[in-house]
Structure 1
Amino acid sequence: MTKYVIIGGVAGGATAAARLRRLDEHAEIILFERGQNISYANCGLPYYIGGTITEREKLLVQTPESFRARLNVDVRVLQEVTKIDRDAKQVEIQNHTTGETYLESYDKLVVSPGAEPVKPPIPGINDHSIFTLRNVSDTDRIKSFCDDHQPRRAVVVGAGFIGLEMAENLHQLGMNVTIVEMASQVMAPLDYEMAAEVHQHLKTKQVEFYLKDGVNAFTRKGNSLSVQLQSGRELETDMVILSIGVRPETKLVREAGLELAENGGIKVNEYLQTNDPNIYALGDAIAFPHPITGNYVNTYLAGPANKQGRIVADNLVMNNTRKYKGAIATAIAKVFDLTVASTGLSAKALKREGIDYVSNIIHGSSHAGYYPGALPYTLKILFHPENGKLYGAQMIGYKGIDKRIDLIATVLMNNGSIYDLQEIEHAYAPPYSSAKDPVNQAGYVAENILTGRLKNINWVEVSKLHAPQICLLDVRTPSEHQLGHIEGSINVEVDQLRQRLSEIPRDKKIIVYCGVGIRGYFACRILMQNGFEEVYNLSGGYKTYEHTMCKQSNEDIFESSYIAKDDHIYRGKPAEAAPFAEHIKTIEVDACGLQCPGPVLKLKTEIEKLKAGERLIQKASDPGFMKDVQSWCNMTGNKLISIDSKEGIITAVIEKGAEAPAATSNEKTLAANLPTNKTMVVFSDDMDRALASFVIANGAASMGKQVTLFFTFWGLNIIKKTDKPKVDKDLMGKMFGKMMPENAGKLKLSKMNMFGMGSLMMKKRMLAKRVDSIEDMIQTALDNGVKMIACQMSMDVMGVNADELMDGVEIGGVATYLEEAEQANLNLFI
């Protein structure tokens, strides 16, 4: 009779024990678990805290008693294995109930230690109101705190899947929720432009969040806790959830001499066997080669752990007959009304691995648009630029996201390509899908890219291009263009494009965009077949571009909140909360299922039927309507009374405004010719003045303005390369070169420089306050399309060679600058 000892329960260890018993009725099986519970639904823990799951018992998949009764497994809870003696083939156990320590032998050992939450040594981190969430005991502590103290404010540190799920559930309990995230985005498995959709959705739910910021300290202040951020902000809260991440809990196996991978996980072979043939490992703590990259990775997911438990049991009983293929980290999460899913590798991961790839973004509806209730989705796939091998996918939406990501994951695990996506046969009926499912559609678009029928360009590449090199062509309707567009683009509607080809320059790169990419593709095909060579379609269209280029974080939204006598939290004045009035005529309009610009066009049509002061309630499923309706009201003189989003449906209440007097032809001409650009002459190379220049420039660029900086005389030193090439200079040029700063990193302060000490102190202060360095500000400006012109005359006088200047800097004279200034309504001299 074989004796199996299993360390750790939950998904992996409990599954292995159950499978072992089904395969070998006579084996002796002992399961050690240091906690009270051996098998529970850890993914359901946030929803029990939030009240969606009302009964705690439903979280407990198996109890020790039911496990013993059904499977005849010797379950020992509250007993922790503290040592593995491989030579003697025995483990040392500490019984936390009795305090005794004893030894237990084994023939085969299974280790499933799991992962532990990261808890950095931040001052004050052990405060009683700071929690992590990993098991049922953690859940009970959080639940008790919420029930006993009725907290009204919560800070969630870390915006991964668990962090966002906790934010939603605490929000559901009526708390003001603030998220603090060190990275520039939430949900690390997503690429930035996909995470940007999540950012905008969180804003609609009045969730406060800070990106690129971390926690410096926690300080107890009476009944509240102060959270001091690295940016200098201070947040007052009643409780904190730490969701910074997890790491493999490998102390036990490391001390036993088992081999670990570079990432800290337990290294196992294809049979899930460690370097000791009598010891197998599974779950969150193991490291296994990734199916795509071949590098050892951890996978902190319940699905793979369950599969591993079954494979380990088979290999123990049947002597290594089943191989583990690895996991591609297919994951999904509910974030308020959104469903967010990913599988395989992201663009960030592919870049880290040095793998060449192509990506594409499509938008569409969850099912046939003519059937009621269709809701939007965004799907991004990543694939090999030649053979189309699939690398990964990310999808965001409201309905059917799970089944689509599962289809793609299946293709991915079978080493499939974009052509396999085209061939997937799906169940189709109007309430469930379209005849061409989103997964099929993604494959078709990818094929167009690989065959050259479509040249794609993404939002990052567009943001780095300079206006003189390109023509931005908006092929949406004039109404859509008026609501919002990429700065500098011309508007020719796709249906009029064939008749207006003469308006499109043939000597420039043409960047075509529409709302989501479909009309852009039609326009690209028209242009390419009419002799235009450099034609690119903006991947994801204006929808993706707008999501990524607008402000991502959502700071300080609770500053106007107050707690009233009834203990509820209110924002602003209570009188502002009532959007309806019984005596006002109100009509309801359903624009669900319509894609941009459909909802706004329908709004325009219906509101024209109303009189001033009457109201319209419009529902729409297009996420862009949240912003579009506000812009439309501002532009048309109508009043937005309220706007709300629930389960993917946006509801806006609009009151018709009074008719504005018609503009005269002179007024129309004047408005059309008003300049909006910003220009600056940068004359100084003082560090503080240079900083001011780029703070203003980047601020204006972030608002979509075209900014031009004209560097003259000493200002040229700001835009010199850090590693300048050797260039020939005359005597005066060499003398100037020795006397002037070498680059932006060598600039001095205009006051209190103190032989260089002042500039060093300034840099240190900027670093402490998380202010970008001057070098970073310059790069940000270039990335945001800020035009930088070096004065040719000043270069000649100062002995500065063109090769010394940073890439992306143009060279011009005063006429070049004056041409830019003609288009500006702000001109500064610094």
Structure 2
Amino acid sequence: MKYLIIGGVAGGATTAARLRRLDEKAEIILFERGKYISYANCGLPYYIGGTISDREMLFVQTPESFGTMFNLEVRVEQEVTAIDRDSKQVTVLNHRTGEEYKESYDKLVLSPGAEPIRPPIPGINDERIFTLRSVDDTDTIYEFIEENKPRRAVIVGAGFIGLEMAENLHQRGLKVTIVELAPQVMNVLDFEMAAEVHQHLKTKNVAFFLGDAVTAFTREGNTVKLSLKSGRTINADFVLLSIGVRPDTTLAKQANLEIGERGGIKVNKYLQTSDPDIYAVGDAIEFRNPITGKSGPTYLAGPANKQGRIAANNIVEGNKYEYKGAIATAIAKVFDLTVASTGMPEKVLKAEDIPYQSIIIHPGSHAGYYPGAMPMTLKLVFSPAGGKILGAQIVGYDGVDKRIDTIAALLQKGGTIYDLTELEHAYAPPFSSAKDPVNMAGFVAQNILEGKSRHIQWYDILEAPIGEYFLIDVRTPEENALGTIEGSVNIPVQEIRNRLDEIPRDKKVVLFCGVGLRAYIAERILRQNGYTEIYNLSGGYKTFMHMTQKQSNEDIFEGDVIEKDDILYQRGTAQQQQAVFEKRTVEVDSCGLQCPGPIMRLKKEIEKLSPGDRIVQKASDPGFARDVESWCKLTGNLLIGVETEKGIITATIEKGIPQNAENSQSGGDGATIICFSDALDKALAALVLAQGAASAGKKTTMFFTFWGLSILKKQKKPRVKKDLMGRMFSWMLPSHSKKLALSKMNFGGIGAGMMRSRMKKKNVEALEEMLDNAIKAGVRIVACQMSMDVMGVTKEELIDGAEIGGVATYMEAASKSNVNLFI
């Protein structure tokens, strides 16, 4: 028998090796159009970044060693250009000699892989624009960096390779910017899981533009200018395209082999193409997904290797080994984070109309009392009928790999959430908890299926009409003060049994805490006291907070300039110099403590210090970086700096001078006004009060949230890209202040017109003049970032003079005010 294999690396090389192990006498020839047949494709970014220092470590086998080991012929730099199925021959072009010849076969295996996508963008073929798919690509990028010493890189596309390259280029000292068309990085994840990656990238000073696209590349000297759809321009010394790949089906199409719905080579369960003598494996094929039943490609090395083994078995022993499809288990290192997924994300199941339920938990990597426990976020998606596992995603710092592999093994075998509850794992404090995160996910899912708990998702809260849910924050008052969901009531879980009369029985009640555990305890209390419409916010405030923060990280390098000395400088930033005094410094380790543990520990320790003393506190809870900043502003202590390395946050805090009564939260001389309404009369009232407060010498802050944002919209706004919900809000809400209606007697807009006319006759300033004069009088105009993100309002749409802020901004202003109004 004579076997020909087209393409090496994972699928082709595995097929060739297995064929030889099964058939010692066969003639086997492997064709590879490149120079290398067996290399660590997934290791290429780490060689560029310097983690893998020896290039030779990338090669599993050389053509010579592989040929000798398996007694087969390896022909590199020889490309198969055509297949003649009738004569069972292929045409080969030898790139070294230019010779073209034919080779016959009994069985043929296609393993051509996939090719990078290069869309027809003007300027995309510039020599400073690269793709990364092969060793040759790697060598080209590596040599470019060594020879040109670039300082700024832009990566177009934020998939696995794009983010791995962001980390490795950052490690080499480059300033990295990512441009991603989707509203999130890593599209295999659901949005709330990607949001954690977004916040981590910010801590690494990586710039990234989400929901934006490159429209043109322009070369100016050694600089590549990227024009974006949003109107922005980014400068780079070089660009890496990581937009994605597509199956390389050139040969298959030329040979009239059947192509699948998603553009890959169609194969049956034995990995045969439409020609029974031609098999195909790897990235070029598509196969039915065992979860959705839909056909599609799987761009992963693991499945390609397994396919090569199965195809070889069937070629030699007859078609009796079935390929069952890949559940797409994948993992990536993104700076300090580990990001992993298996099965289907929620968004795919929703699009395919497959019934599902999902939960989010935030367990620790091992027992919290043993040093070094790190947080992780685990999302589990399962069938509401029987609890069959449909997918899982995990983002964390330690132990992510073994948890995703455990869930993947059960998923592949048709396991259920009940299997997760019963899973027996190896337990010792350094490695796990007695109830492993995988068990915990099963327990939470079981409670839902058995009716002991009802979960509600973050998007249900954001998309609900105002007043539909009665929100209860069951955390401590100290936690609540650091940030909560707008409109919620704080009833700590310890007090809930004694405060039942404050909780309505005729409304849907949503309970939330930091991560969901205390909310579940409160839920059980209420359910057993006769409450029926009770919900637990899945993932708790931690997930909600991640979702309502700004997701992108644009323009952080816009102050960078290269001067005549060819050095990159940062312009426009205040250089603060601090005198160094002899201070007492105390180190506090709160790693392993979940929110609010680190903040409570900080409060306890700082009370022991004198003004000017410092605490250097370490924490593993990702929310600590935000919480410590808000806490310092609220308490009058000084945050010297925050650093993050390998998931450990280190904050340096200097104890401030205790606030006296005049400067305390209840004795400040400022005024804060929350403007929640988009009614013309209420907006006028708010501005009249603000101007009055400012004229009385009060430092006045107006905080515009939700419907109140309409007051701040420009009449002539730039065109900005929005998602569907953002566009819907734009259609339904006033487009600018002159479109505001009266809260009563509006009469389809006639009332508002009459009001404006009446004000003009009485020489009362129009709303727009009031707003302008308030800003001139020093009134601080703050737009709520969370509300903007929820309602799809961008900074570009707001009037000049408006700043963007969050709950901490409001709390800081409110703490210095003795007047606080809600309109």
For the aligned pair, the TM-score class normalised by the smaller chain equals 0.7 to 0.9
Q: 1:707: which partner in 2?
A: 707
- Does 1:495 find its partner at 2:494? yes
- Does 1:510 find its partner at 2:509? yes
Change (3 A) 1:144 1:407: same
Change (3 A) 1:72 1:665: closer
Q: Deviations over 1:559-607 (max 9, x none)?
A: 2345689976565799958889473321111000000000000111111
Give the one of 679, 682, 707 matched to 1:681.
679
Alignment of 1:702-741 (within 5 A): 705-707=705-707
Q: 1:359: which partner in 2?
A: 358
- Does 1:91 find its partner at 2:95? no
Alignment of 1:219-368 (within 5 A): 219-368=218-367
Q: Distance in 1 between matches of 2:743 and 2:573?
A: 57
Q: 1:737: which partner in 2?
A: none
Q: 1:159: which partner in 2?
A: 158
Q: Distance in 2 between matches of 1:280 and 1:154?
A: 41
1:709–1:789 Cα contact (<8 Å) kept: no
Match for 2:707: what amino acid?
V
Q: Distance in 2 between matches of 1:460 and 1:416?
A: 28
Q: Distance in 2 between matches of 1:183 and 1:556?
A: 18
Per-residue deviation, 1:507: 2.0
Name the SS of the counterpart of 1:6 in structure 2: strand
Change (3 A) 1:578 1:424: farther
Q: Distance in 2 between matches of 1:31 and 1:377?
A: 44
Match for 1:139: what amino acid?
T
Name the SS of the counterpart of 1:187 in structure 2: coil
Alignment of 1:77-226 (within 5 A): 77-226=76-225
Q: Distance in 2 between matches of 1:535 and 1:305?
A: 47
Q: Distance in 2 between matches of 1:31 and 1:750?
A: 66
Match for 2:705: what amino acid?
K
Q: Distance in 2 between matches of 1:665 and 1:138?
A: 61
Q: 1:692: which partner in 2?
A: none
2:672–2:703 Cα contact (<8 Å) kept: no
Q: Distance in 1 between matches of 2:301 and 2:725?
A: 45
Give the one of 750, 757, 776 matched to 2:727.
776
Alignment of 1:345-744 (within 5 A): 345-561=344-560, 569=568, 571=570, 581=580, 583-663=582-662, 667=666, 675-681=673-679, 705-707=705-707
Change (3 A) 1:630 1:135: same
Q: Distance in 2 between matches of 1:703 and 1:110?
A: 66
Q: 2:37: which partner in 1?
A: 38
Q: TM-score, normalised by structure 2?
A: 0.85
Q: Deviations over 1:220-279 (max 9, x none)?
A: 111211111111111111010000000000011011010011100100000000110000
Q: Distance in 1 between matches of 2:279 and 2:370?
A: 52
2:680–2:743 Cα contact (<8 Å) kept: no
Count how many residue pairs are aligned between Structure 1 and Structure 2: 733
Change (3 A) 1:277 1:434: same
Q: Distance in 1 between matches of 2:655 and 2:197?
A: 31
Q: Deviations over 1:608-632 (max 9, x none)?
A: 1111122110000000001101111
Change (3 A) 1:119 1:703: farther
Q: Deviations over 1:675-705 (max 9, x none)?
A: 413322369xxxxxxxxxxxxxxxxxx9883
Change (3 A) 1:781 1:369: farther
Greater CA drift, 515-524 or 413-422: 413-422
Q: Distance in 2 between matches of 1:590 and 1:561?
A: 36
Change (3 A) 1:579 1:150: farther
Change (3 A) 1:789 1:462: farther
1:579–1:653 Cα contact (<8 Å) kept: no
Change (3 A) 1:565 1:405: farther
Runs of at least 5 residues in structure 2 that lack an aligned partner in the other structure = 682-701, 734-739, 752-818
Match for 1:76: what amino acid?
R
Match for 2:259: what amino acid?
L
Per-residue deviation, 1:664: 8.6
Q: Deviations over 1:454-500 (max 9, x none)?
A: 01000000112234232110000111000000001111111111112
Change (3 A) 1:682 1:675: closer
Name the SS of the counterpart of 2:270 in structure 1: coil
Change (3 A) 1:789 1:21: farther
When the two chains are superposed, the root-mean-square deviation of aligned CA atoms in Å is: 3.0
Q: Distance in 2 between matches of 1:201 and 1:508?
A: 37
Name the SS of the counterpart of 1:592 in structure 2: coil
2:90–2:104 Cα contact (<8 Å) kept: yes
2:679–2:743 Cα contact (<8 Å) kept: no
Change (3 A) 1:773 1:623: closer
Name the SS of the counterpart of 1:14 in structure 2: helix
2:390–2:411 Cα contact (<8 Å) kept: yes
Match for 1:89: what amino acid?
K
Q: Distance in 2 between matches of 1:670 and 1:388?
A: 57
1:678–1:825 Cα contact (<8 Å) kept: no
2:590–2:597 Cα contact (<8 Å) kept: yes
2:662–2:668 Cα contact (<8 Å) kept: no
Q: Deviations over 1:421-479 (max 9, x none)?
A: 11211111000000011111101100101111101000000112234232110000111
1:679–1:824 Cα contact (<8 Å) kept: no
Q: Distance in 1 between matches of 2:545 and 2:26?
A: 62
Q: 1:720: which partner in 2?
A: none
Per-residue deviation, 1:825: 6.0
